[in-house]
Amino acid sequence: MTAGASRMLLEQIQHAATSAGLDAVGVTNTAPFTQARRAIDERKAAGLHAGMWFTYGRPERSTTPANILTGARSIVVCARNYEPPNPHTPEGPASAAGGSGTVAAYVASDAYGALRAGLERICEVLQRSGFEAVTVCDDNRLVDRAAAARAGLGWLGRNTMLLSRELGSWTVLGSVVTTAELPAPDQAQSDGCGTCRRCQTACPTGALDTAGVLDANRCLAWLVQAPGVFPPEHRIALGDRLYGCDDCQTVCPFNDTAVTPARGQPVDLGLRSNGAARGNSVDVAELLRMTDDDLMAAFGHWYIPRRRPEYLRRNALVVLGNVGDPDSPAVEEILRRSLSSASDVVAAHAVWAARRLGRDELVAEAQSAGLGNHDPDGLVAAELAIPVPRRQTAG
């Protein structure tokens, strides 16, 4: 393909991306991401991955884009903005007795669905021109932030997110790997973070103590998605975060001036029909009352470890302990039900939530009724053995 034909094809790609609502397009080659591979290996060896599979699972594959498609010559990398988080409103679920659980902004709208649709449009343009093309979106096969940085869409900030002077960091990323050889920029954007440490200071658990390095063992956004017990030392810091954590983005100065296009109505969070969800919030009590089938129908589009609803209940119980009304009959009923759950994960976190709310008598009653009789991994016993600081409430 001649240089002129290559430039013309890139223009067609850019037009298709813009028409599909994508906000940035860049191109890079398919050379291995050696720096990203080295960083992944070092952090994995240091134990900073905390069992996270994404990116860390098979770095030899995710940092070698030529493995995705035989004869691949270029990667078209795209970004799509999503709406920043909305503050709680007084009439919203925050006023409910069980409290309101906040949800990360990227799952409050179908940003990835719209991104995938745009990437497919780009694939069609390339395929009509006789080239092979494969979409890679929210996929372990490619280190998307490294690809976006090399394609000139931004730089990797101190919070490890891709930052752009124009778009900030409220973006989802995806790529098209193709056999077409497309013109690519000579160099990536320069680091714009400078001496700013806002994200590091704002991180509630110190997961960003080393600039540009994430300790997943302390990252709340990962811990709400990880299987097993939610670490006791980070439960109070979780606050009202039911799913995800946006703190390192909300404080970033580039997000203060970023242009975020209006995207219409947010996706239904699952309980909106009952008036229990508003913006980026979910009524925790309503969630904990749902059957497993209803819970998965409402929230199954989120990543829930092993597709087991007990892990979302686990998060909700920690939030309940942090923000629920200890004197509410509804909260008491939820705690009683959770303490008698057949799931040791749910029962264990209900112990913590009850004690956090100063309802130790509910735990004692549950013990008399057989709490911990079904405890194959000793989760309930471990919870009963650790002290829980009672939450101080107004009045």
283 is catalytic: no
User: Which tens digits make up the pLDDT trace of 155-172?
Assistant: 999 999 999 999 999 999
More confident residue, 83 or 147: 147
Q: What is the pTM of this model?
A: 0.89
Residue 262, pLDDT score: 56
Of 132-146, 226-240, 272-286, the one with minimum mean pLDDT is 272-286
3-state secondary structure at position 10: helix
- What is the set of domains in the chain, with CATH numbers? 3-87+105-178 (3.40.109), 200-385 (no CATH)
* DSSP codes of every residue in 92-131: SGGGSTT-EEEE-GGGTTTHHHHHHHHHHHHHHHHHHTT-
How far is the C-alpha of 299 from the C-alpha of 295, rounded, in Å?
Answer: 6
Catalytic residue among 23, 41, 110, 138: 138
Task: Specify whether the backbone of 360 is left (phi greater than 0), alpha (psi in -120 to 50) or beta.
Answer: alpha
Task: Tell me the average pLDDT of the chain.
Answer: 89
Quick one: pLDDT band at residue 265, thresholds 50, 70, 90?
very low
Question: Is residue 159 a contact partner of residue 192, using CB atoms and an 8 Å limit?
Answer: no
Residue 7, pLDDT score: 93
Quick one: pLDDT band at residue 109, thresholds 50, 70, 90?
confident
User: Which tens digits make up the pLDDT trace of 314-334?
Assistant: 999 999 999 999 999 999 999
3-state secondary structure at position 183: coil
